[in-house]
Amino acid sequence: MGGFFSRMTLARRFAIGMGAIFLPIVLVVVVAVGIIRPTVIGTVDEILQNGPPLRESIVDLERSVLRAVFSLNEQYTTGTATFQRTLAISRNRVDEKFAHLISRIDGYSDEQELLLAAQKAWQEAWSQGTVLLGSSLSERQGESGAALVNVNDQFLRAVSLLEALEDSYSRITYNRLLQAGKLGEMAPMFLLGAITLALLMTALTGFAFARSILLPISALHQGAQRIGKGDLTSHVTIDSDDELGQLADAFNTMAHELKKAQKELLDQSMRDELTEVKNYRGFLHCLNEELNRWSRYGDPFALILLDLDHFKTVNDTYGHPAGDEALRKVAETIRLSLRQSDCVARYGGEEFAIIVSRTDATGALALAERIRNDIAAVSVETAGATFGISASIGLSSVSEACCTEQQIVSAADRALYEAKRMGRNRVCQT
């Protein structure tokens, strides 16, 4: 019977269940029409009409906040007029959606408090972001990025509060449906003296109806709890074509979009905006992964530290835009020399770090020489001038005596220092 119900809408399955009770006796019809239908169906219909749209408004607001964050990050790193317009539009949309949602959620004190806290976090983050955007693009490129990370964290706090609001509203909907179910279960008490058949049909129909609603709601509730704890891989499966099945599909879509947005933010936090390779944070992440792989499986790897020779002179002579172009060309040259399993990162300033996966010292040395030669062949064109660059390279390999993050980086750094001491434009290894 549960499978039979799951193919119907909530209102239709309830009507069929009530019809089974109405048939045995006229008294059942009179009491059911006068007491049960106005209360239970009214509650369920109200939830069906108001619940999903309000939840969709919350999810839409979350997405709008995330889009605004992306626009602010792009404006911070590029400073283009296009993103300025996009930023203004994004902010206005978020403010309008906050105002609309606040007017709709009136009457739920705890939920309104969460929404107001999310609005406050959004406004504070936006104010901080506006201050950051007041600096010039060159000033932003010289900063460490910590201020932008703090602003992004504040935005993510607003998103987390909206997720908590969505979870809270899901619990309210769940409790109201439970109350509606309890009213339906209490109805047979008024008909206790009718006939045994009516009571039996009431029990059977009520059980199937409650099961067809409470099990999907329980699955949605558990999924919302898992997402609330940070598990964005949470997926809810409901074998139903009704409104609860549609709600489960929307829930899964929301979880997927949140996971996608989280991944994009994580990728941005570990990528250097100028060169499009990983930044220092991304380098540490790759290095720790390689150290863990070596510790578990014994897979060898090597670390290459590369420093562009006399780069300050390049900036002083040709200007910082030319220096930036040189960094981009070097990054692209290195990237073309590596495999997909290898990792290149801008270590800082004019330094790059390369992690060569599953390669011993001999193979890494050959790769380092090839990269050095490729960089020496790079030609950078500026307004009225063309110049070349060279690089000094230090190399270290993982071993029993050099198997921690500090040890392997220090070893490569010593080799890099030796390459500079010996006249630059060469490769040294420890």
The CATH code of the domain that includes 313 is: 3.30.70.270
Q: Which residue matches tokens 């029409």? A: 33
- What's the rounded mean pLDDT across residues 359-365? 94
The span from the CA of 372 to the CA of 374, in Å, is: 5
Closest C-alpha to 311, from 332, 330, 335, 333: 330
**One domain for residues 324 and 408:** yes
Split into its structural domains, the chain has a count of 2
Three-state DSSP state, 301: strand
Residue 275 covered by a domain: no
The span from the CA of 214 to the CA of 93, in Å, is: 36
Q: Which of 163-177, 316-330, 392-406 has the lowest mean pLDDT?
A: 163-177
pLDDT band (50, 70, 90) for residue 359: very high
**One domain for residues 285 and 257:** no
Residue 23 near residue 257, CB atoms below 8 Å: no
Q: Per-residue pLDDT tens for 255-306?
A: 777 777 777 777 778 899 999 999 999 999 999 999 999 999 999 999 999 9
**One domain for residues 135 and 192:** yes
The span from the CA of 367 to the CA of 360, in Å, is: 11
Which domain covers residue 382, as residue numbers?
280-429
Cα-flanking dihedrals φ and ψ of residue 307, to 5°? Answer: -125, 130
Q: Which of 101-115, 268-282, 400-414 has the lowest mean pLDDT?
A: 101-115
Residue 79 covered by a domain: yes
Q: Which of 40-44, 238-242, 291-295 has the highest mean pLDDT?
A: 291-295
Residue 417 covered by a domain: yes
Give me the pLDDT at residue 63, please: 82
Q: Which of 109-123, 223-237, 264-278, 378-392 has the lowest mean pLDDT?
A: 223-237
**Among 240, 269, 298, residue at a domain's last position:** 269
The span from the CA of 138 to the CA of 275, in Å, is: 15
Q: Considering the chain, what is the average pLDDT of its residues?
A: 79
Q: Which residue matches tokens 């200007």? A: 319
Q: Which of 266-275, 317-326, 385-394 has the lowest mean pLDDT?
A: 266-275
Q: Per-residue pLDDT tens for 214-227?
A: 777 777 777 777 77
The span from the CA of 183 to the CA of 168, in Å, is: 23
Give me the pLDDT at residue 266, please: 72
Q: Cα dihedral sign for 54, 57, 59, 61?
A: negative
Amino acid type, 368: A
CA atoms within 13 A on the CB side of 183: 18
Q: Which of 21-30, 60-69, 182-191 has the highest mean pLDDT?
A: 60-69
**Among 245, 269, 293, residue at a domain's last position:** 269
pLDDT band (50, 70, 90) for residue 149: confident
**One domain for residues 314 and 411:** yes
Query: Which residues are catalytic, by number?
Result: 350
Contact residues for 67 (Cβ-Cβ < 8 A; gap 6+): 90
H-type alpha helices, 229-310: 243-269, 280-297
Residue 274 covered by a domain: no
Residue 188 covered by a domain: yes
The span from the CA of 325 to the CA of 225, in Å, is: 48
- What's the rounded mean pLDDT across residues 11-40? 62
Kindly calculate the radius of gyration of the chain based on its CA atoms and give it in whole angstroms. Answer: 31
**Among 235, 269, 303, residue at a domain's last position:** 269
Residue 67 covered by a domain: yes
Cα-flanking dihedrals φ and ψ of residue 346, to 5°? Answer: -80, 110
**One domain for residues 284 and 265:** no
**One domain for residues 228 and 319:** no
Going by the DSSP 8-state scheme, the letter that residue 278 receives in this structure is: B
- Planar angle of CA 189, 190, 195, nearest 5 degrees: 85
CB atoms within 10 A of CB 414: 16
- Residues 250-263 as b/e (b if ≥16 CB within 10 A, e otherwise) read ebbebbeebeebee
**One domain for residues 253 and 104:** yes
Three-state DSSP state, 261: helix
